[in-house]
Amino acid sequence: MKIMTDNTYLGIDSCSYGWVSFILNQKQWNIEIFRNINSLWKKYYDSKLILIDIPIGLRSEGAKARLCDTAARIYLTKKRSSSIFPTPCRKALDASSYQEANNINRELTGKGLSKQTYNIMSKIKEVDTLLKKDHQASDIIIESHPEVCFTALKNKKPLGFYKKTQKGIEQRFTLLNSFNNFKKNPLDFAKNNFKRNDLAIDDVLDAWVLAVSASKGKSALNFFPKSYEFDMKGFPMRIAFPNFYIY
């Protein structure tokens, strides 16, 4: 059942099933998974703010990396900078195979594509297609990144352990729990309600930190970079994160 939406904030991350959403509304919370972004948007189109871990603004050509990706890597230092994947050029999204996408990206940017980037390109295209069709979605759905948000919540200190390790999971849960401290454990809820093959624990933590960051509202967001660019479709190339001074 959908929780009331007059003050609802979402954090969204990709997962094996499709997409996981962590929904926050004051002291209410829920976790849901969706096969595609359209079904998620259909249910939560009237949310106040949605932060999503997927590139939105895309370069059309040229070797220059998105300024937001470069700034985010610097912010995360060597500890977590590898979590920022290279972003493909827009035309590569239409490729039907890794080889084709790699060739297109190399031709237009001078750089090939990693398999990690290729594996999320169908998700990038999903979001890109939605935003091109629905202007309301482009105003509410904003690109963010979980590791950037975790770092902001920890007073600009990148987390020391990789998110899929037990220590990494515990570190992220402890930090998030210090902000929410729910009576019921969201991780236990996820384990009891979803198949591990559909949803990993680190996906839940990623969606949760995005929801916490979104719940402070647009006015509490900072962006990498401060003066961000726009792509050829008019989408901003930026990564949002919470202003930690508000806590």
Taken in order of first residue, the domains within the chain and their CATH numbers are 9-59+131-246 (3.30.420)
Query: In the block, which residue shows the tokens 């190339």?
Result: 237
Tokens (6 digits) for 241: 């994160």
- How far is CA 67 from each of CA 71, 79, 131, 143, 168, rounded to the nearest angstrom? 6, 20, 21, 14, 28
Give me the residues of the chain with pLDDT under 70, please: 1-6, 244-247
Q: Are the CB atoms for 51 and 211 separated by under 8 Å? A: yes
Question: Which pLDDT does position 220 carry in this prediction?
Answer: 93
Cα dist from 207 to 67, 171, 210, whole Å: 24, 15, 5
Which pLDDT belongs to residue 57? 97
pLDDT for position 5:
53
pLDDT of 79-118, one tens digit each? 999 999 999 999 999 999 999 999 999 999 999 999 999 9
Determine the Cα–Cα distance for residues 33 and 94; give it in Å rounded to an integer: 26
Residue 27 has a pLDDT of: 77
Residues 6+ apart with CB under 8 A from 239: 68, 69, 71, 72, 143, 144, 145, 148, 223, 224
Say what the pLDDT of residue 26 is: 82
